């Protein structure tokens, strides 16, 4: 099925997979090279990502790394407002997503800035106001399956059916409130073991049952680094390999630190399918 997202009145078609580039205005994101500090660094990173083919810039200001401690809501907002002022000024036509699990942060960013998407890693579990806020904003929302903080082990009775059932229930809640553009993220790393992450990736095609576009974020995650005994800085080839698997499983959006390499994977995937 061909999907699209309404981005400020323009349709972003997802028939060809899209690439979402990660911009972190945090000092503690798990992948050090993804962090940017200061206007010049932010402009340079965003400019490079867009030049390399990023379709979406995903801006985060509160790390959800394993064993991390989230910053206060006020600090997250201060970081985001400063960064979004820069993006609004230098890249007014860019499609910008804000990575937050807080309703107030989502609301203020969407109302004050050129923000087109809310990317919530909690699946509106960590802030009771997020669901009604998303409904009022009526902009595309990334719904993530997150049974726990990144790195937190969770017990499942029947893993994959439970993930699908949880996402289906939340999709119904969103759609019943009139939220039309919902992107599903299976939540690799959030409340899932290494084995469960690979089980989910190998069965990614079943998420098509949800009848929603699929975002996959695997970039340099612990399902690679812990399995192979490498650091996030060493995990680019492995990320590219798993991104190809994700595309073959039906991913519509790849969320990545390394845009050029992900764009190349999308091009090779197109060649495999005979699409130029």
Determine the Cα–Cα distance for residues 85 and 108; give it in Å rounded to an integer.
13
Report the catalytic residues.
221, 255
What's the predicted TM-score (pTM) here?
A: 0.93
For residue 203, what are the contacts with CB-CB under 8 A and spacing of at least 6? 160, 249
Determine the Cα–Cα distance for residues 25 and 61; give it in Å rounded to an integer.
5
Which pLDDT belongs to residue 33?
53
N-to-C CA span, the chain: 19
Average pLDDT of the segment spanning 119-144: 95
**In contact, 216 and 227? CB cutoff 8 Å:** no
pLDDT in tens, 68-100: 677 899 999 999 999 999 999 999 999 999 999
Which pLDDT belongs to residue 119?
98
Residue 188: closest CA among 165, 172, 204, 176: 204
pLDDT in tens, 202-253: 999 999 999 999 999 999 999 999 999 999 999 999 999 999 999 999 999 9
Mean pLDDT score of the chain, rounded to an integer? 92
Q: Which of 33-47, 105-119, 253-267 has the lowest mean pLDDT?
A: 33-47
| Cα dihedral across residues 86, 89, 95, 100: positive or negative | positive
Which pLDDT belongs to residue 152?
65
- ∠ CA 34-39-41, nearest 5°, is 40
Which helix (H) or strand (E) element contains residue 97? strand 96-99
Instruction: Tell me how far apart the 2 most distant CA atoms of the chain are, in Å.
Output: 49
Residue 63: pLDDT band (50, 70, 90) is: confident
Lookup: tokens for 47: 């400019």
Average pLDDT of the segment spanning 172-180: 96
Q: How far is CA 111 from CA 105, 107, 133, in A?
A: 10, 6, 11
Determine the Cα–Cα distance for residues 190 and 125; give it in Å rounded to an integer.
13
Lookup: tokens for 64: 């959800």
**In contact, 136 and 179? CB cutoff 8 Å:** no
Count of positions (residues) in the chain: 276
């Amino acid at each position: 099925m061909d999907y699209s997202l309404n981005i400020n009145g323009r349709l972003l078609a997802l028939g060809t997979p899209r690439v979402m580039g990660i911009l972190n205005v945090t000092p503690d994101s798990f992948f050090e090279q993804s962090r940017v500090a200061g206007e010049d660094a932010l402009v340079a990173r965003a400019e490079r990502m867009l030049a390399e083919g990023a379709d979406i810039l995903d801006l985060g200001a509160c790390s959800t790394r394993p064993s991390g401690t989230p910053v206060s809501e006020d600090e997250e907002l201060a970081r985001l407002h400063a960064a979004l002022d820069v993006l609004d000024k230098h890249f007014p036509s860019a499609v910008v997503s804000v990575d937050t699990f807080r309703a107030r942060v989502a609301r203020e960013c969407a109302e004050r800035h050129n923000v087109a998407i809310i990317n919530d890693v909690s699946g509106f579990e960590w802030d009771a106001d997020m669901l009604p806020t998303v409904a009022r904003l009526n902009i595309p929302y990334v719904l993530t399956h997150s049974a726990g903080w990144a790195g937190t082990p969770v017990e499942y009775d029947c893993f994959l059916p439970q993930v699908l059932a949880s996402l289906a229930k939340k999709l119904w809640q969103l759609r019943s409130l009139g939220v039309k553009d919902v992107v599903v993220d299976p939540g690799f790393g959030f409340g899932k073991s290494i084995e469960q992450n690979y089980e989910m990736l190998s069965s990614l095609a079943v998420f098509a049952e949800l009848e929603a576009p699929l975002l996959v974020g695997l970039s340099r995650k612990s399902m690679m680094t812990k399995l192979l005994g490498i650091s996030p800085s060493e995990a680019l080839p492995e990320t590219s390999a798993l991104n190809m698997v994700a595309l073959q499983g039906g991913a519509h959006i790849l969320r990545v630190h390394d845009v050029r390499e992900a764009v190349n994977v999308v091009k090779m995937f197109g060649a495999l399918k005979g699409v130029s």
